[in-house]
């Protein structure tokens, strides 16, 4: 595994007057509500530990009051941790002096806020410049960088507007531009899209993913919306009562919930919006295009298949043939090229199940999966999809080829 960008070790935050006493009770294994009853202290975050790797989107997900917003503020010390370590590039944020901390905040960490937190008295450009302005970078240089960053989020031409003149979605773009302007390694996004309308939220999620393709920042994203977590998260940490209950990829969490809480959380989720083609894909027999129909028919008989996929030398998918056509071709002395079905619908490995139903219905053959270089990766048979939606392990779901 590559080296972690952020390592959080046993970080705890207790709000109240006697955090030491509360920490002791926490060590004895008492619950959040017991500690509140006994000491009057609130456990914000309870011994959270996790690693975030460079270039990944790490989603911290939980209901309100689960401590997720506190946890993200412990990462840049907007809230002082009671105990534990937060290592960013192996440097412990918790033990830093104010000047060092300021430097890390200026250069390595940027934050995007739920309610945008734009400065109402500054223009869009001035807002975007803020992180550079506090570093005393010259006006010329910082407005150049801010300009680039605004272009990145699609707000060119709005430099002189004030935040109040923009829509919610545009305001959060400014928030994002401001966070990107000082080119940080890490973006902390606290419910960044939660205040937006569902449609705009989806657009922003797509745009973030698109931006992330080229930026490859390390992103810690807080949300209470499971769909959002599943959509954008490379890995998800689920929080409850200040503790992290499970960390895993979206599929791991969906298919293998660590406990009842997670299970109840995910049971309402539409699996077809989580599982991807690569999850239900099967290996398929292929044949090079320069072989004859006899070879094809032979192979299909051996493997008990009713169709076969034809690829070129570079494993690029050309088309498919059926056993019936192959048998007729042998009688009529035709080549494979003559009976090839080329207008096959295809899907990419990261296509969600929900997006492939229409294609599956339109084709009698299994859906071929091809990657971005048109290479043939495998096929999707209906039985495997149904098995996955029913919650079975996909490997055991043996669907017959139609």
Partner 1 sequence: MQLFPKIPLADWVDSFVDMLTDNLEPVFDGITSGIDWFVEGIVSILAFPPALVLIAIFTILAWWSSRWPVAIFTLLGLLLIDNLGYWDPTIETLALVLTSVIISIILGVPLGIWASQSDRVRGIITPVLDFMQTMPAFVYLIPAILFFGIGMVPGIIASVIFAMPPTIRLTNLGIRQVPEDLIEASNAFGSTTKQKLIKVQLPLATPTIMAGINQSIMLSLSMVVIASLVGAPGLGADVYRAVTQIKVGIGFEAGLAIVILAIMLDRISQNIGKTKN
The site for partner 1 (CB under 8 A) is made up of 73, 76, 78, 101-107, 109-111, 113-115, 117-121, 130-131, 133-135, 178, 182, 188
Query: Which of 119/357 has CB closer to partner 1?
Result: 119
For the chain, the distance separating the N- and C-terminal CA atoms, rounded to the nearest angstrom, is 41
Question: Are 85 and 92 within 8 A, CB to CB?
Answer: yes
Q: How many whole angstroms from its chain centre is CA 257?
A: 18
- We find the least distance from the C-beta atom of residue 100 to partner 1, in angstroms, to be 11
| Cβ count within 10 A of residue 166 | 18
Q: Give CA angle at 36 (30, 40), nearest 5°.
A: 130
- We find the least distance from the C-beta atom of residue 187 to partner 1, in angstroms, to be 11
> Tokens 């080549």 sit at which residue?
335
Q: Give CA angle at 180 (197, 55), nearest 5°.
A: 90
- We find the least distance from the C-beta atom of residue 4 to partner 1, in angstroms, to be 22
Query: Which of 73/201 has CB closer to partner 1?
Result: 73
Query: Which of 174/236 has CB closer to partner 1?
Result: 174
How far apart CA 73 and CA 48 sit, in angstroms, is 13
Query: Which of 186/326 has CB closer to partner 1?
Result: 186
Query: Which of 11/369 has CB closer to partner 1?
Result: 11
How far apart CA 25 and CA 137 sit, in angstroms, is 48
**Helix, strand, or coil here: 106?**
helix
Query: Which of 104/336 has CB closer to partner 1?
Result: 104
- We find the least distance from the C-beta atom of residue 107 to partner 1, in angstroms, to be 8
- We find the least distance from the C-beta atom of residue 25 to partner 1, in angstroms, to be 29
Q: Give CA angle at 351 (346, 357), nearest 5°.
A: 70
- We find the least distance from the C-beta atom of residue 260 to partner 1, in angstroms, to be 35
> Nearest Cα to 182, choosing from 124, 108, 234?
108
**Helix, strand, or coil here: 68?**
helix
- We find the least distance from the C-beta atom of residue 106 to partner 1, in angstroms, to be 4
- DSSP bridge partners of 287: 310
Those residues with Cβ within 8 angstroms of residue 313's Cβ, 6 or more apart along the chain or in another chain: 288
Query: Which of 56/129 has CB closer to partner 1?
Result: 129
């Amino acid at each position: 595994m590559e080296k972690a960008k952020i390592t959080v070790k046993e970080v705890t935050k207790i709000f109240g007057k006697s955090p030491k006493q509360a920490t002791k009770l926490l060590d004895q294994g008492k619950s959040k509500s017991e500690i509140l009853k006994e000491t009057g202290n609130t456990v914000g975050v309870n011994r959270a530990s996790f690693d975030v790797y460079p270039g990944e989107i790490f989603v911290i997900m939980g209901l309100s009051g689960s401590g997720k917003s506190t946890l993200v503020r412990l990462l840049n010390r907007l809230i002082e941790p009671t105990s534990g370590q937060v290592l960013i590039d192996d440097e412990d944020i918790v033990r830093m002096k104010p000047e060092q901390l300021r430097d890390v905040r200026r250069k390595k960490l940027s934050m995007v806020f739920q309610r945008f937190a734009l400065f109402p008295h500054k223009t869009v450009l001035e807002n975007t410049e803020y992180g550079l302005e506090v570093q005393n970078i010259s006006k010329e240089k910082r407005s150049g960088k801010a300009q680039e960053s605004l272009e990145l989020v699609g707000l060119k031409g709005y430099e002189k507007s004030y935040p109040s003149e923009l829509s919610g979605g545009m305001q959060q773009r400014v928030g994002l531009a401001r966070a990107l302007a000082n080119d940080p390694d890490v973006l902390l996004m606290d419910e960044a899209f939660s205040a937006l309308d569902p449609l705009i939220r989806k657009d922003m999620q797509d745009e973030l993913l698109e931006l992330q393709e080229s930026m490859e920042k390390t992103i810690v994203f807080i949300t209470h919306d499971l769909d959002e977590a599943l959509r954008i998260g490379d890995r998800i940490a689920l929080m409850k009562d200040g503790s992290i209950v499970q960390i895993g990829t979206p599929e791991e969490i969906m298919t293998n919930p660590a406990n009842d809480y997670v299970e109840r959380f995910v049971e309402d989720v539409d699996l077809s919006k989580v599982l991807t083609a690569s999850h239900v894909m099967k290996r398929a027999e292929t044949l090079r295009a320069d072989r004859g129909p006899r070879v094809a028919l032979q192979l299909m008989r051996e493997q008990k298949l009713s169709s076969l996929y034809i690829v070129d030398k570079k494993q690029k998918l050309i088309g498919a043939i059926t056993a019936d056509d192959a048998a007729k071709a042998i009688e009529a002395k035709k080549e494979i090229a003559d009976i090839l079905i080329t207008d096959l619908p295809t899907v990419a490995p990261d296509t969600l199940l929900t997006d492939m139903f229409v294609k599956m219905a339109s084709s009698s053959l299994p859906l071929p999966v091809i990657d971005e270089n048109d290479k043939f990766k495998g096929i999707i048979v209906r039985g495997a999809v149904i098995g996955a939606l029913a919650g079975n392990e996909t490997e055991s779901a043996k669907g017959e080829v139609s």
